[in-house]
Amino acid sequence: MSRKRSRPEFTDPNKQPWRTMPPSWVPLQMLEELDRYGRADADTALAAIETLDKVISYTQAMQMRFMDRFTNARPAVGAPFSKYAAGEIAASLTWSLSAAQKRLNLAYQLVHELPGTMAGMSHGHLDLRKAFTFADQVSHLCPEDAQKVEEKVLPGADSKTPRSIRDRARREVIKIDPAAAEARRKKLVSERRVEKQPCEDGMALLGAFLPAESAEAIYRRIDTIARSLKTKDETRTMDALRADALTDLCLGVPSNVRTKIELRVDATTLMGLDDNPAILSGYGPMTAQRARELAGDETSEWYRILTDPVSGVVIDHGRTRYRPTKALRDLVNARDQRCCGPACNRPAATCEFDHTIPFRDPEGKTAYDSTGPACKFHNDIKEHGWTVTQPTPGRFLWTSPTGRTYDVTPNDQYPPPPF
């Protein structure tokens, strides 16, 4: 008579060695059994998701190395490998030709030029999207300079979003050669355009490739108009209202909404003493030369921003007008730049003004150290098992329903100014 197989205790972390194993050691059979029995609680399921993500990154790094070995067998004169190699990959994996070419280019770049990024993938610290995001930002640099950017950006990248990695890399790339970065920007400005793409069921996608400050100003104006129309009786979504606002503006319906974009730049950079990258709120780093051009525009308004010399946290935002509540919101937005929620990149200017301690709570207050920008989603999740504290201004500690904690400093990708 066969004996009935006993089921292991799947909810005991001490009996789940795969949680702390390097990705190359993870016994997938244990996770397969965990999935088959269906006994995982929320924390165990999340741990399995995290572990499998590391295993996927590890196997994708291995695939990158094998792709490089494949292209070694397809040499070409004047190029790293034959352009026809992508055809074989596309046929084998049923990918598009362009997707296969991009992946082969990435494999060559990771193996030969970005050893730190490849190591991050192999150890499960960087997924393919983060690796591609970083590689794309440094693709025009020589390998030596690209590896200098790796040394600055990759430490701690496993806890950063692709957007944060992109902005950090972009800033370091600009710092390595400001003149080259400005030349690239001017070249791209000459390629600005509007594109239209047909979509399903009588719809179309309209887009514009514009200088960042113009795109940000246009979006801010559209968003401001849309928010002014969002009354309690309005049934249209915010996305639909923005689309309608854009349509009305382009087709001639006037609006008296005034738009403001925020550019953060060191005083020494404005004076031409250095070429530190500036920060365009909602976009990220841009060249010092373009920042000086924007600051010199006759329509620009300048405000003094005082930052902590060590942490770079904004502690004062100069104002000549606005009510105190508006001044506080602008100060907090200048400090944080983005939503204070984990892995969220929504610009602070389009977020809700959130109280870390609910205002209705006896200890709740509207103050610099108890408020922060939160998108609607991260504002709402506090009603669904999440909690958040703000131990120091601009640093938020989130706790999920499973008890996991996330330490979020929305503006940590921007180092303090040098004065």
**pLDDT given at position 187:** 95
**pLDDT given at position 362:** 63
Print the domain residue range for 340. 324-408
**pLDDT given at position 241:** 95
**pLDDT given at position 353:** 85
**pLDDT given at position 113:** 97
Per residue in 332-346, pLDDT tens?
888 888 899 888 888
Q: Which helix (H) or strand (E) holds 198?
A: strand 193-198
Per residue in 119-129, pLDDT tens?
999 999 999 99
Instruction: Please indicate, yes or no, if residue 194 is contained in any of the structural domains.
Output: no
Least confident range of 82-86, 172-176, 288-292, 372-376: 288-292
Do residues 133 and 166 touch, judged by C-beta distance below 8 A?
yes
Instruction: Please indicate, yes or no, if residue 220 is contained in any of the structural domains.
Output: no
Domain-ending residue, one of 176, 203, 220:
176
Q: What percent of the chain has pLDDT over 70?
A: 84
**pLDDT given at position 309:** 56
Instruction: Please indicate, yes or no, if residue 303 is contained in any of the structural domains.
Output: no
Per residue in 219-262, pLDDT tens?
999 999 999 999 989 999 999 999 999 999 988 776 666 667 77
Q: How confident is the model at residue 314 (pLDDT cuts 50, 70, 90)?
A: low
Across residues 258-283, what is the average pLDDT? 79
Instruction: Please indicate, yes or no, if residue 282 is contained in any of the structural domains.
Output: no
Per residue in 92-113, pLDDT tens?
999 988 999 999 999 999 999 9
The total of structural domains in the chain comes to 2
Q: How confident is the model at residue 307 (pLDDT cuts 50, 70, 90)?
A: low
Q: How many CB atoms are closer than 10 A to CB 321? A: 6
Q: Is the pLDDT of residue 279 over 80?
A: yes
Instruction: Please indicate, yes or no, if residue 38 is contained in any of the structural domains.
Output: yes
Across residues 205-222, what is the average pLDDT? 93
Q: Which CA distances in Å does 332 have to 279, 354, 358?
A: 16, 10, 17
| Cα 331 from Cα 337, distance rounded (Å) | 10
**pLDDT given at position 274:** 85
Do residues 27 and 7 touch, judged by C-beta distance below 8 A?
no
The more confident residue out of 15 and 235 is 235
Q: How confident is the model at residue 318 (pLDDT cuts 50, 70, 90)?
A: low
Least confident range of 17-26, 44-53, 178-187, 319-328: 319-328
**pLDDT given at position 97:** 87
Q: Is the pLDDT of residue 418 over 50?
A: no
Beta bridge partners of 206: 196
Domain-ending residue, one of 109, 144, 176:
176
Do residues 307 and 416 touch, judged by C-beta distance below 8 A?
yes
pTM: 0.77
Across residues 23-51, what is the average pLDDT? 85
Domain-ending residue, one of 114, 149, 176:
176
Least confident range of 15-19, 103-107, 160-164, 373-377: 15-19
Backbone phi, then psi, for 397, in 5-degree steps? -110, 115
Q: Is the pLDDT of residue 51 over 90?
A: yes
Beta bridge partners of 195: 207
What's the angle, vertex CA 333, arms to CA 329 and CA 339, rounded to 5? 120
Q: Reduced to 3 DSSP states, what percent helix, strand and coil does the chain have, rounded to the nearest 5?
A: 50, 15, 40
Instruction: Please indicate, yes or no, if residue 6 is contained in any of the structural domains.
Output: no
End-to-end C-alpha distance for the chain, whole angstroms? 80
Q: Is the pLDDT of residue 323 over 50?
A: no
Q: Which CA distances in Å does 64 have to 103, 105, 126, 137, 366?
A: 8, 10, 13, 19, 51
**pLDDT given at position 138:** 96
**pLDDT given at position 317:** 60
Q: Provide the greatest CA pair distance for the chain.
A: 91
Instruction: Please indicate, yes or no, if residue 115 is contained in any of the structural domains.
Output: yes
Tell me the pLDDT of the chain averaged across its residues: 84
Per residue in 175-202, pLDDT tens?
999 999 999 999 999 999 999 888 887 8
Instruction: Please indicate, yes or no, if residue 37 is contained in any of the structural domains.
Output: yes
The more confident residue out of 306 and 223 is 223
